[in-house]
């Protein structure tokens, strides 16, 4: 059987819609926040699945493809080195207490992991996960038309692998490889960016908090520098974009 992280990563490879999800509704304040990475994947990015070791036979492949065809959107935010990660986890659950039914919860020394669903007549419209492991926080929303029996497969995989899959979310998306430093930085300094290998060939895009484009660079290697001499005191968003993958972090520039 496939690991949970395989199922989640393959699912993100399908097209998105503009339907509001719990990330946009309840967790949008984290987007661009310090120590947070926002991951948006659109389009048919099936190559993401190839990064994960898996054992899957032809029947499972056909079944997975059918499930993928009914996925509408995937959004995820990841917070690292958060001193209050457990409190963020608890507050996150309170925000969806009335809108989503709890499907499963795991609490152990490794962390906390809760899956909730928005379900009607056996059809799941949204699956959400809120999790915390040490100082890491993860929340995602998966929207589509998923049968309850299909969701059972996901639950079985969670029971097998538990919090190990939360750590794999960090590992398989190369989140630790995406760094912006020094942060905060002075306008007289260059801002350095460490870039995941899979994003080489894409672009670095810098915008202000209103989305105004300030700079754009081609990614040619795993280290890139931004000249901030003309940047005013304030906060900016650094994005890595390649095909339909987008990662973003906030950087603060001081005079």
Structural domains of the chain sorted by starting position, each given as residue range(s) with its CATH number in brackets:
4-172 (no CATH), 176-254 (2.60.40.3080)
Alpha-carbon span 99 to 141, nearest angstrom? 13
Q: Estimate to the nearest angstrom the gap between the alpha carbon of 29 and the chain centroid.
A: 15
Q: Binning pLDDT at 50, 70 and 90, where does residue 217 land?
A: very high
% of the chain beyond a pLDDT of 70? 69
Note the pLDDT of residue 47: 37
Average pLDDT value for residue range 218-230: 92
Q: Tally the C-alpha atoms within 13 A of residue 43's C-alpha that lie toward its C-beta.
A: 8
Greater confidence (69 vs 94) lies with 94
Asked if the model's pLDDT at residue 94 lies above 60, the reply is yes
Note the pLDDT of residue 68: 65
Alpha-carbon span 61 to 157, nearest angstrom? 16
Asked if the model's pLDDT at residue 201 lies above 90, the reply is yes
pLDDT digits (tens, 9 = 90+) for 13-36: 333 344 578 888 888 887 777 788
Integer-rounded Cα Rg, in Å, for the chain is: 19
pLDDT digits (tens, 9 = 90+) for 135-161: 899 998 888 887 876 766 655 555 555
- Other C-beta atoms closer than 10 Å to the C-beta of 193 total 23
Average pLDDT value for residue range 192-208: 91
Alpha-carbon span 73 to 16, nearest angstrom? 4
Alpha-carbon span 46 to 51, nearest angstrom? 10
Note the pLDDT of residue 60: 58
Task: List beta partners, residue 132.
Answer: 112, 137
Phi-psi map region of 81: left, alpha, beta (phi>0 left; psi -120 to 50 alpha): left
Give the per-residue SS3 of the chain. Answer: CCCHHHHHHHHCCCCCCCCCCHHHHHCHHHCCCCCEEEEEECCCCHHHHHHCCCCCCHHHHHHHHHHHCCEEEEEEEEECCCCCHHHHHHHHHHHCCCCCEEEEEEEECCEEEEEEEEEECCEEEEEEEEEEECCEEEEEEEEEEEEHHHHHHHHHHHHHHCCHHHHHHHHHCCHHHCEEECCCEECCCEEEEECCHHHCCCEEEEEECCCCEEEEEECCCCEEEEECCCCCCEEEEEEEEECCEEEEEEEEEEC
Q: Which of 82-86, 143-147, 159-163, 191-195 has the lowest mean pLDDT?
A: 159-163
Average pLDDT value for residue range 74-94: 88
Q: Binning pLDDT at 50, 70 and 90, where does residue 51 land?
A: very low
Asked if the model's pLDDT at residue 253 lies above 60, the reply is yes
| Alpha carbon distances (Å) from 242 to 37, 43, 181 | 16, 11, 21
Backbone angles phi, psi at 245, to 5 degrees: -100, 135
Note the pLDDT of residue 12: 42
Q: Binning pLDDT at 50, 70 and 90, where does residue 84 land?
A: confident
Asked if the model's pLDDT at residue 122 lies above 70, the reply is yes
Note the pLDDT of residue 8: 46
Pair type for strands 223-227 and 213-218: unpaired
Residues 165 and 5: beta-carbon distance below 8 Å: yes
pTM: 0.60
* The two three-digit tokens of residue 135, written as one number: 């100082």
Note the pLDDT of residue 53: 42
């Amino acid at each position: 059987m496939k690991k949970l992280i395989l199922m989640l990563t393959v699912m993100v490879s399908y097209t998105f819609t503009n339907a509001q999800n719990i990330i946009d509704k309840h967790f949008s304040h984290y987007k661009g926040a310090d120590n947070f990475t926002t991951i948006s994947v659109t389009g048919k990015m099936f190559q993401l699945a190839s990064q994960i070791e898996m054992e899957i036979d032809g029947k499972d492949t056909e079944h997975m493809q059918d499930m993928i065809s009914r996925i509408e959107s995937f959004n995820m935010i990841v917070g690292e080195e958060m001193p209050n990660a457990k409190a963020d986890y608890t507050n996150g659950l309170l925000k969806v207490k009335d809108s989503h039914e709890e499907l499963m919860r795991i609490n152990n020394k490794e962390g906390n992991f809760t899956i909730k669903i928005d379900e009607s007549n056996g059809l799941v419209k949204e699956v959400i996960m809120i999790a915390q492991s040490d100082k890491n926080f993860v929340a995602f929303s998966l929207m589509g038309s998923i049968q309850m029996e299909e969701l059972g497969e996901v639950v079985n995989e969670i029971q097998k692998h538990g919090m190990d899959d939360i750590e794999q979310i960090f590992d398989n998306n190369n989140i630790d490889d995406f760094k912006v430093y020094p942060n905060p930085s002075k306008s007289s300094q260059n801002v350095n960016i460490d870039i995941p290998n899979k994003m080489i060939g894409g672009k670095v895009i810098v915008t202000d908090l209103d989305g105004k484009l300030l700079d754009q660079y081609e990614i040619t290697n795993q280290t890139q520098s931004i000249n901030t001499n003309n940047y005013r005191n304030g906060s900016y968003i650094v994005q890595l974009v390649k095909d339909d993958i987008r990662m973003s972090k906030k950087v603060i520039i001081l005079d």
